[in-house]
Structure 1
Amino acid sequence: MAPQTPATATSDTLMSLQGITLAFGPKVIQKDISFNIKRGSIFAVMGGSGCGKSTVLKSMIGLLRPTAGHYLVDGEDYWTADPAHRQTVSRRFGVLFQSTALWSSLTVGENVALPMQMLTKMDPATVRSQVELKLGLVDMLHAIDQYPSELSGGMKKRAGLARAMALDPDILFFDEPSAGLDPITSARLDDLILNLRDGLGATIVIVSHELPSLFKIADDGIFLDAKTKTPIAHGAPSWLHDHCDEPQVHAFMHRERETESGRTD
């Protein structure tokens, strides 16, 4: 069966990429990227190593301007808008980087407080209350006075997630959230992401190649191909697993099952 194609934008479309090309000088990373993200969904950007997943994410959070195409948020073009409007839209974004990017010299609480202190006029008491609330949501309140060096990998991810939620964003971006985590910790993080989506009504974009997480939490997605430098499949990971006959997608989606059963073909 052929891969699904991106649907036409509708009233429930929050973000839309239309014919996006991403490049560093003459080097094209991905081209002809088109997909829509519905409000309240968990959308996965998938593909093998080096295909440009994180580059797509960087463009969506405003760190890399595309060389062609349009990126719409609530129907307005992010990159052609004036800087003030882009800043307003960017305030709606919360980002969990793969490395978590926590400041090592700050405690967990201070890391979460930093966006509030820099970008709002909250008084110290309100900031403290919000920090405790965000850390409570990710079960990290007990670590409010600890430094990143004192945390496990899973705790760092949760602390990074609390900071991503500091300004109450309605759009969350996660870059390889399960990378480096053991299966149990990864599964707990998946549950946390689902709870945040359901409890806060946030829309989530996740970059990942971790199949268990993709099957569990993502309800839509795009698959990027490193060789053609284009998206070659669109749909929920579970749908792609069962129905997509594109060779690269099939190999990606079935690799864990084949490994577990001893197959090497």
Structure 2
Amino acid sequence: MPQSDTLISVRDVELSFGPKIIQQNVSFDLKRGSIFAVMGGSGCGKSTLLKSMIGLLPPTTGQVLVGGEDYWAQNEHRRTQINHRFGVLFQSGALWSSMTVGENVALPLEMFTTQPPDVVRKLVEVKLGLVGMEQAIDLYPSEISGGMRKRAGLARAIALDPDILFFDEPSAGLDPITSARLDDLILTLRDGLGATIVIVSHELPSLFAIADDGIFLDARTHRPIAHGAPRTLRDTSSIPEVMAFMNRSSTIPTTDETKADRHV
């Protein structure tokens, strides 16, 4: 059978905490080889949606289909197997401070493979080499910069050769030059490893530079209100909230022309 171009399908997902609805009617497809951006202002539910996609938070209703399988309908053992397809870079890098960089990257290999220590060490060196961090293998997180911690976290995320990578605010707290270098690295990993990437971010330069598809979550209506590449939404959207976000405006346009139907 031919391989499907769709790796993940989110179908009519609602996310809520008790009576508080975070997002509802969320639907989109994640295409193989794409860099998909989850966009929106603070508090709109970007990271909450990411947690539902990586197995940390079940949706209130709806489905997250991974390779055609309803992720949240599977038993815990099967979900764990599916999780091996995922690599996650959390916002802070989330490195264990008591472990060296090399030990952090080795952790998933030690937990989920039966490779001997010498092979694990070689694999760690390879993964750190891919992100330009091989010289830091024996250093502790406190001994390296914020940008280096992000790259070390990325090396750990790709330790098990996942085909889907999730990044939560990868450029947060980084200076513009370091952020641009991280963008280049993400593109290199996509092209070199064939990975498909989901990126949660409000950093517009990064979104415009690397994302080729995306969804815009609205905090006021608790719904997605736009779908498309960030550059396309910037240049063509007539939705006031999207226009304000993409152009860093402090006010939302309210002309009659922009009061169109806001469904995705």
Q: Shorter-normalised TM-score: what interval?
A: over 0.9
Q: Which residue does 1:12 correspond to in 2? A: 5
Higher relative contact order (CA 8 A, sep 6+): 1
For residues 32-71 of structure 1, what are the alpha-carbon distances to aligned partners after superposition, in whole Å with 9 as ceiling and x for unaligned?
1000010010000000011000000001000000010011
Q: CA deviation at 1:11?
A: 3.1
Distance apart, 1:81 and its partner CA: 1.6
- Deviation per CA, 1:4-31: give whole Å up to 9, x if none: xxxxxx9311100000001112111111
- Structure 1: 5+ residue runs without aligned partners? 1-9
One-letter amino acid of the counterpart of residue 93, structure 1: F
Q: What is the match of residue 116 of structure 2?
A: 123
Give the drift of 1:83: 2.0
Task: Give the superposition deviation at 1:264.
Answer: 11
Q: In structure 2, what is the equivalent of residue 4 of structure 1?
A: none
Counterpart CA distance in 1 for 2:78 and 2:96 is 28
- Alignment correspondent of 1:5: none
**Number of the residue aligned with 1:88:** 81
Paired residue for 1:34, among 27, 32, 42?
27
The reply to whether residue 47 of structure 1 matches residue 40 of structure 2 is yes
Contact 2:244–2:252, Cα closer than 8 Å, also in 1: no
Helix, strand or coil at the partner of 2:49? helix
Q: Which residues of structure 2 form unaligned runs of 5+? A: 254-264
Give matches, 1:1-265, under 5 Å. 11-255=4-248
Contact 2:243 2:252 in 1 (8 A): no
| RMSD between aligned residues | 1.5
Q: TM-score, normalised by structure 1?
A: 0.92
Q: Distance in 2 between matches of 1:54 and 1:199?
A: 27
Residues 102 and 124 in structure 2, CA contact (< 8 A), matched pair in contact too: yes
Off by >2 Å, runs of 4+ in structure 1? none
Shift of 1:76: 1.1
- Does the 8 Å contact 2:240/2:252 carry over to 1? no
* Structure 1 residues 143-192: Cα deviation after superposition (integer angstroms, max 9, x where no partner): 00100001111101000000101111110000000000000000000000
Cα offset, 1:204, TM superposition? 0.3
Percent identity, aligned pairs only, is: 72
